[in-house]
Amino acid sequence: MSPVDDLLQEIQNLLTGPGISYTSVSQPWDVYEGYLFSLAVSTASSLGASVHYKDVHGSTVNNLVFRTSPGRLYSTRHPYTHAVVEFDRAPALEVHLGVQVQGNSGVVHECDVLILPSDEAALSRQIRMAPRGNKCLLAIECKYYTAGPVDIGHARNFEGLHSDLRTARNLFVSNTGAPNVVKYLSARKRGYEREVVPANVNTVGYTRGQIREAFKIYLGKTAPSTVI
């Protein structure tokens, strides 16, 4: 199978049921973002959360429509899908793909995968403004390269994103490795995982651990009696 087909198969495995809008001719970087979305959702489920899917209108859906370019969380142009995650005794969360987020400066940034409280997402839909980064749990930057290492420029952009969004946690994930990117992000103590692909069970496990930590911090504040 091609790398895209591998990703598509793993998305189906992780989501266990719903249909998806990606196909074998979808761009690999788009499918990679969907893979990380699915990994976040699957991690929540493995930790005991209940998960279901809704579109922007609030309707429960079984066929998932994913963005292939960044957009507004509240846009009703297409019935894009997000996941609703509910841990015991904690306010609900949402997982979104390819949405804009407002930084501390007031500038709007693009987030490949975003986990945020449902009430912040609801406010975004109500007032039609990007959700506030400092209210969000986790922003994941996804980089998929079909040839060559990850460009250092992406790491620098991620550093700027981290500094302005002020989310509880940020994570840089790529399908390849690059020593200069590792040195750059390590020196700044930024979260990153490299060579994250379905076949690499170790790096996938490390990425799940980073996602779990974001949920753990959230539950520590909102539902400290809930153990994950």
Alpha-carbon separation of residue 23 from 3, 11, 82, 113, 146 (angstroms): 12, 11, 19, 19, 17
Specify the pLDDT at position 27: 95
Q: Could you tell me if residue 228 is inside a domain?
A: no
Q: Could you tell me if residue 78 is inside a domain?
A: yes
Q: How far is CA 81 from the centre of its chain?
A: 13
Residue at 112: amino acid letter:
D
**Distance between CA 193 and CA 196 in Å, rounded?**
7
Q: What is the pLDDT of residues 191-203, one digit of tens each?
A: 999 999 999 999 9
Q: Residues 102-131: what's their mean pLDDT?
A: 96
Alpha-carbon separation of residue 7 from 11, 39, 43, 140 (angstroms): 6, 11, 17, 17
Q: Could you tell me the CATH number of the domain that includes residue 180?
A: 3.40.1350.10
Domain that residue 180 falls in: 3-222
Q: Nearest 10 degrees: CA dihedral of 60, 62, 63, 69?
A: 50
Question: Count of CB atoms within 10 A of residue 92's CB?
Answer: 15
Specify the pLDDT at position 178: 86
Q: Could you tell me if residue 84 is inside a domain?
A: yes
Q: What is the pLDDT of residues 43-95, one digit of tens each?
A: 999 999 999 999 999 999 999 999 999 999 999 999 999 999 999 999 999 99
Number of domains in the chain: 1
Specify the pLDDT at position 161: 83
Specify the pLDDT at position 221: 96
Q: Could you tell me if residue 227 is inside a domain?
A: no
Residues whose CB falls within 8 Å of the CB of residue 62, separated by 6 or more in sequence, listed in order: 17, 18, 19, 53
Specify the pLDDT at position 45: 98
Is residue 1 scored above 80 in pLDDT?
A: no
Specify the pLDDT at position 17: 81
Q: Could you tell me if residue 75 is inside a domain?
A: yes
**Sign of the alpha-carbon torsion through 20, 23, 29, 31:** positive
pLDDT band at 10, cuts 50/70/90?
Answer: very high
**Distance between CA 157 and CA 162 in Å, rounded?**
9
Q: Could you tell me if residue 146 is inside a domain?
A: yes
pTM for the full predicted model: 0.95
Q: Could you tell me if residue 97 is inside a domain?
A: yes
Higher pLDDT pick, 53 / 17: 53
pLDDT band at 25, cuts 50/70/90?
Answer: very high
**Sign of the alpha-carbon torsion through 198, 203, 208, 214:** negative
Q: What is the pLDDT of residues 134-174, one digit of tens each?
A: 999 999 999 999 887 888 998 898 988 888 988 889 999 99
